A and B are shown apart, each in its own frame.
Chain A
């Protein structure tokens, strides 16, 4: 893109995008660290993540204030306008994802008091890594205005859905085997579901990037693989 004749406008737009990337980095970190706190039963780490969510929330506020300024002072049009609108929606997704990381940390504090469910923490960590990969790529696609990369993120969310389905069945099995596992498995299930939702937010960001680049939302349905909410076949 050619720079604006008014260079202050470019500075404003770059500034707000830098804040988005900073926020994205914090959210990615919070998710990975929260999974680690769960795996290593590290209460201090979990507490730090819970406290760190405030910065993410405040960053969202700051970005909103900045976007309001840009709209009021610069009257952005065309791709500039889409950038501002996209930024506002991205930070809403990031803020929500940050909340899920915080919730994961909170539940890991509870889970640390209970008998571990074998293999679950490792699976959660793997799932968190995949989702953070999606989040990172969706934000990279945003910075690079790369619709192809954004399309790829949309497709890859199906893998996260599959991981969630597998975990869902695993937790059911544990609960059926021994009712004493139910509390822990319920917490673990919420964690898995929340991470799966972060994947949906990453997909949402990718769709915003496509809107930003092409000026319209992607047309085709996105591939979905979360089947847990469907009625099993034969029981309709």
Chain B
């Protein structure tokens, strides 16, 4: 018998995410809408190269927290954000930070598809154009094609790139929005229920896309489908009544949650 095999020689590949660095660090984040205390003292590290899922019942604060991460709450006049959110160590709520520049780095895909009233091509090309990311038309064409391919939309639209984006079906519009969001090469991509309007095959394609995107940036996804959170993410955070109840490795959350509230929620006993 050649040297005995030890358990430490046996690994399951691709499981190790815990040694990834923190991309976003949130400490003591509180959000108030007027007098309503929507988010209570959230501490969390969003890791680079990782898909993080936020789950929880409606009104638990998961979307609120997501919107803090690229200052979308600035647009809600009654909202007040307390605490600290750092992107690569820099406070995104610092006065010197331009929210528009921040949102180029922290892109977002919404629940309802919202393409610009422009052509399919221009929807994707818009970001790279205004941020000056390409030098000429050929480069821009390339970016548009690669983003549409990544979003699993290219084959359906390649012959009608000049048609209006709003003329696509709901599922296609959503994939167009994803293509648009990744066209500026963001560092973090926030997705709020990105698949709720898609059929199962398009959902599977978008989920595969999310998994690919992870090699380039952090993805944070809010979803009501626990199965989707289980399938696409490496880390899961469970929110309940404005509290971050549990945050951990997705496999652990779905096989052996620590908090009884998490267990109740994922097994369908509380909502």
- The answer, yes or no, to whether B36 is at the interface (CB within 8 Å) is no
Q: State whether A6 touches B211 (Cβ < 8 A).
A: yes
The digit string for B255-266, where 1 denotes a CB below 8 A from any CB of A, is 100000000000
Q: State whether B1 touches A48 (Cβ < 8 A).
A: yes
Q: State whether B201 touches A75 (Cβ < 8 A).
A: no
Tell me the dominant secondary structure on chain A's binding face: helix
Given contact pairs A6-B208, A59-B10, A69 touches B255 in the complex (Cβ within 8 A): yes
The digit string for A72-86, where 1 denotes a CB below 8 A from any CB of B, is 111100000000000
Interface residues on B, range: 20 to 34
Question: What is the number of contacts between chain A and chain B, taking CB atoms within 8 Å?
Answer: 64
Q: State whether A22 touches B251 (Cβ < 8 A).
A: no
Known interface pairs A7-B211, A62-B7, A74-B231; 19 further A-B residue pairs with C-beta atoms within 8 A, sorted by A's residue number: A5-B204, A5-B207, A6-B208, A8-B14, A8-B211, A11-B14, A15-B12, A15-B13, A19-B10, A26-B5, A49-B1, A52-B1, A54-B7, A55-B6, A59-B7, A59-B10, A69-B255, A73-B251, A74-B230
Complex Cα gap A22–B10 (Å): 9
* A interface residues (Cβ-Cβ under 8 A, vs B): 4-9, 11, 15, 19, 22, 26, 29, 33, 45, 48-49, 51-52, 54-55, 58-59, 62, 66, 68-69, 72-75
Tell me the dominant secondary structure on chain B's binding face: helix
Q: Which residues of B contact A62 (CB under 8 A)?
A: 7, 10, 12
Q: Which residues of B contact A68 (CB under 8 A)?
A: 255
Q: State whether B227 touches A75 (Cβ < 8 A).
A: yes
Name 18 A/B residue pairs within 8 A (Cβ), A-sorted. Answer: A4-B204, A6-B231, A11-B14, A19-B12, A45-B1, A48-B4, A52-B4, A54-B7, A55-B4, A59-B10, A62-B7, A62-B12, A66-B12, A69-B251, A69-B254, A69-B255, A73-B231, A75-B230
